[in-house]
Structure 1
Amino acid sequence: MEPLVISVSGIEALLRNLDDSKAIGPDGVSPRVLKQCVNPISLYLYLIFEKSLSTGQLPQDWKVANVVPIHKGGPKKDVTNYRPISLTSISCKIIEHVIYKALMKHLLDYDLLTKTQHGFRKGFSCTTQLLEFYNDLVSEIDLGGQTDCIFLDFSKAFDTVSHPLLLEKFEYLI
């Protein structure tokens, strides 16, 4: 993969397009402040991004998240009806966006994604995945073939895992 190239003007464009209604992360910096301070702040973000990319290190403050429970539906007293949302630094989200775009460009340019990859791709979704599955299913049935499906529910897969053991395994990887 080619080296990731960022520019002050690119950061300025991303800052100008920030959604003012997005939640503030633990650093307390709102999208509105970043938008209003585009000119002075874009150079400093550029320098931080360059250092982060060259060293592979993010500022410690960017590694902190405020985890907020969001109600999915059903009785509000049932904790399983909530999903966690991690509110992180807007500045960190910007560098994540830059890296994501570069990585996706590389994957698409070199045709490294399978046609069945629907997650995290523009123009693809759970619905397109389901439609493709349905089409494959109907086509096989029309040909008189057998189709077997296995459905797995991983929603509670980590509830029974020993968290201290899991953390120990993760530390071993680092």
Structure 2
Amino acid sequence: MKIKLFITTNIVNTRNVHFSFVAEKLIGNNTSDMDFSMLQNFTSKKLKKTGNFNLKLMSVGEVCSQLKHLNINKSAGLDGISPKFLKLSAEIISPSLTFVINKSITSNRFPQKLKLAKVTAIHKGGPRDIPSNYRPISILNTISKIFERHVCTQLYEFLNNTKLLHIAQSGFRQGHSCQTALTKLIDEWLKYLDNGEIVGTVFFF
């Protein structure tokens, strides 16, 4: 039996390089030849009726409410500020935090330090010396989550109101899941079969 010994620093550096280049590999796929005209026409027609998306500012009450509803069992990010501390000090820090968030919105700049995350590598299976056998779990600073939740709520509402999300879109939507997607798919198949039509499926692996 062969025993491989690794220096902790080398292991961390190897995984760091692997995780860092995952996104670059995806971006490296050439999309310049793809035709987005249909998508552009679709969105432009929708936006003509409703107008463009504008991110609203946060109120002190909204920030304070989000702080008070934080899950204190979650881990702290790189800043070391725990959700429990933010929750307990919500009424004191919410005015200052509101100013920072709104300043970011009006200046169109997201604080650089809030982009940083603490990454933990979780072993998925297979040989432990292969970086691709690990899944990265990113723990963001709690303050950045408050900002992101505010943006997500408004953007999701805008996409729903303008019907920019397709009715069949099930991923990452409230009230939708793999189960609802399969239920709709099977329902469509049964309708075609009841009408005497043939249903064909193609699976990609």
TM-score norm. by structure 1 comes to 0.76
**Structure-2 change in CA distance of 1:149 and 1:102 (3 Å):** same
Deviation at 1:98, TM superposition (A): 0.3
The structure with the larger Rg is 2
| Distance in structure 2 (CA, Å) of the matches to 1:31 and 1:61 | 17
Give the AA of the match of 1:29. Answer: I
Matched, 1:83 2:135: yes
| Distance in structure 2 (CA, Å) of the matches to 1:3 and 1:59 | 17
Deviation at 1:148, TM superposition (A): 3.4
Matched, 1:132 2:132: no
Equivalent of 1:50 in 102, 126, 129: 102
> Which residue number in structure 1 is paired with residue 44 of structure 2?
none
Structure 1 residue runs of 5 or longer lacking an equivalent are 154-174
Matched, 1:150 2:202: yes
Task: State the identity %.
Answer: 34
Deviation at 1:87, TM superposition (A): 0.7
Matched, 1:99 2:154: no
Comparing 129-138 and 21-30, the one that deviates more:
129-138
What SS class does the counterpart of residue 83 from structure 1 fall into?
strand
Deviation at 1:83, TM superposition (A): 2.5
The structure that is helix-richer by fraction is 2
| Distance in structure 2 (CA, Å) of the matches to 1:51 and 1:66 | 25
8 Å CA contact 2:77, 2:140 repeated in 1: yes
Deviation at 1:109, TM superposition (A): 2.1
Deviation at 1:152, TM superposition (A): 3.4
Q: Write the mapping of 1:1-174 to structure 2, written as runs, cut at 5 A.
A: 1-71=53-123, 77=128, 82-153=134-205
Which structure has the higher relative contact order (CA within 8 Å, separation 6+)? 2
Structure 2 residue runs of 5 or longer lacking an equivalent are 1-52
